[in-house]
Amino acid sequence: MRADRDLVLGGASVVAPLDDREAQGLLPGFLSAVTITQHLHDNKGRAASANKDIQLLSRMFRLARVRWGLTTFNPCEAIEYLPEGPRTMYVSDKRYADIYAAASPVLQCMLEISTQTGAREGMIFDIRIGDFDQDQIELRVTKKRNEKGHTAKSYTMTPDLWRALGRALELRKKRRGGAASLPSDYLFITKNGKPYAKESFKSLWRVVRTKLKLESREITFHDMRAKAGSDSASDVAAQELLHHEDVKVTKRVYRRKVPSSTPLPSAIGGRGKG
């Protein structure tokens, strides 16, 4: 497929050929780079998510071209992605109390687990009844995969964490099929007895956003993980809690609490006296 476009060079009109990708982008029903760039522009407030949208779209076109031979066109090539900076939202203890009060009992348990261990929502969905006892809990870190599909992170059990897990277990018994349970069964299940997933979790979080009148990304559940990292005693302690290989990631992304210092005494008369 070829098409032509008019160029003006030195006052003269020149007809230059379009390649297949450019030509297809001008046809009705085909995505163009301009359309994709507009999507990024319209979603500046969610830069990371918008960039992921385009990355997924680009992969789809790449598979369609290389594996299935359905197209020679990829409108995502040479797209300039939005600049991404780490979130700076720190959830204070007072704000956390508001979120906790607005949450359902099941979500309250998830909030407590996340803010105490730094677990991501997917790690919380994946907790099985046999993963914890009065001594420790073992969580699956699916972002770091091995031959089992995950690595494991063990946490010493604390009274607060045990209380949250015990409450979650009691709430589970009131759900369909939750009264009888095996060690391999999921700790958190919906009213229909199914394990929680992203969509079912969104409904829980949507209630909190509505009650507190929060914008879509004003506060996210992932900010609870950042609160755990921010409230840790040191960068190294936060790195260990969040299971990061590099402390630089911990410091740059998850240590969001504003540093606090005690002012020096007055210099009038000399600080060294006393």
Residues 136 and 249 in one domain: yes
Of 9-18, 101-110, 176-185, the range with the lowest mean pLDDT is 9-18
Residues 58 and 104 in one domain: no
Residues 173 and 242 in one domain: yes
Of 57-66, 104-113, 139-148, 163-172, the range with the lowest mean pLDDT is 139-148
Average of pLDDT values for 76-96? 90
**Cα dihedral sign, 225-228-230-235:** negative
Residues 152 and 248 in one domain: yes
Number of structural domains (the chain) is: 2
> DSSP string covering 11-73, please?
TEEEEEEE-HHHHHHHSTTS--HHHHHHHHHHTGGGHHHHHHHHHHHHHHHHHHHHTS---S-
Q: Give residue 238's pLDDT.
A: 96
The whole-angstrom separation of Cα 160 and Cα 166 is: 10
More confident residue, 95 or 266: 95
Q: Per the domain annotation, does 76 fall within a domain? A: no
Q: Give residue 17's pLDDT.
A: 46
Confidence category of residue 21, pLDDT binned at 50, 70, 90: low
CATH number at residue 207: 1.10.443.10
Burial class (CB in 10 A: 0-12, 13-18, 19+), 220: middle
Residues 181 and 48 in one domain: no
Q: Per the domain annotation, does 99 fall within a domain? A: yes
Confidence category of residue 22, pLDDT binned at 50, 70, 90: low
Can you give the residue range of the structural domain that contains 126?
Answer: 93-254
List, for residues 89-119, the tens digit of each pLDDT value.
999 999 999 999 999 999 999 999 999 999 9
Q: Which of 67-81, 124-138, 143-157 has the highest mean pLDDT?
A: 124-138
Q: Helices 235-242 and 222-231 sit at what angle, rounded to 10 degrees?
A: 140
Angle at 43 between CA 39 and CA 48, to 5 degrees: 105
Query: Is this structure's pTM higher than 0.85?
Result: no
The answer on pLDDT for 73 being more than 90 is no
